[in-house]
Amino acid sequence: MSTSGAPAPARPPGARRVRGPVLFLGLVAVILAIIIPTVFVPTVLFPPAEPRLDDHGPLPPFALTDHTGAELTRASLEGQVTIVNFIFTRCDTICPVTSMKMRTVQEKTADLAGRIKLLSISVDPAHDTVPVLAAYAARFGADPGRWRFVRGDIAAVRDLVERGLAIGFDDLGGTTASGAPNITHSGHFVLLDQRAHIRGYYDSDDWPRIERLMKHARFLVRRPPGPPPGS
């Protein structure tokens, strides 16, 4: 007698519901087998080394004026991490580029707005008055609570930039082909710690170095320097 029309044996109750969870658990096991040895174990057992930042010493005392008309002194920088660069508002080469990069730094460190500050020092203070700097700050979207543009007597600026920060600049006289003043200055950014000590120099032409600068600034927020010996 043919059995071709006989019904198939009944599946045990719940048999259809087993396959999905089994496949899911198998997929989870595969993912864990990949993540544990490649991500979890190296991170936990071999965490990234903390950066070793040089200490180039403290800034000298100074007094300058920012783009809001407020005074800026060395004491103003203490208690926070500060990233410094150098600009002048009539510059049409490096300055707009470095100012845009500083704006990006402002955006990428917004979560630490109260602990990482930004400072742009004008190397053309005779022209860069408070109103001129205020317009320049607005042009680049500077948060006045975080990013200050400063000026002062040229002797005071030169003393801070050249003696304090060890950055050179020079007014060669005349103008460039574009009509901008022929002023040369560094495109480096400088990192200051919470004691207004210089902790590093970063070439702004190399974006990975700016990324490293932000990483080091965050490290200083997490691990602020202790008081000097004997204090």
Residue 221 pLDDT exceeds 80? yes
Closest CA to 117 of 83, 73, 159: 83
Domain ranges of the chain: 63-222
Closest CA to 166 of 7, 33, 57, 22: 57
At 12-33, the pLDDT tens digits run 555 555 566 666 676 767 676 6
Q: Look at residue 199 in the predicted model and tell me its pLDDT.
A: 98
CATH class of 63-222: alpha beta
β-pairing, 116-122 vs 147-151, is parallel
Report d(CA 190, CA 162) in Å as an integer.
13
Q: Look at residue 35 in the predicted model and tell me its pLDDT.
A: 60
At 181-208, the pLDDT tens digits run 999 999 999 999 999 999 999 999 999 9
For residue 140, how far is the Cα from the chain centroid?
Answer: 16
Quote the longest CA-to-CA distance of the chain: 114
Report d(CA 71, CA 68) in Å as an integer.
9
Residue 91 pLDDT exceeds 90? yes
Amino acid at the residue 41 = V
Which positions ≥6 away from 213 have C-beta within 8 Å?
Answer: 83, 105, 189, 191, 200, 202
pTM value?
0.78
Q: Look at residue 7 in the predicted model and tell me its pLDDT.
A: 56
Angle between helix axes 94-108 and 207-222 (nearest 10 degrees) is 40
Residue pair 61/150 in contact (Cβ under 8 Å)? The answer is no
What Å distances lie between residue 52 and 38, 68, 105, 200, CA to CA?
Answer: 26, 36, 21, 10
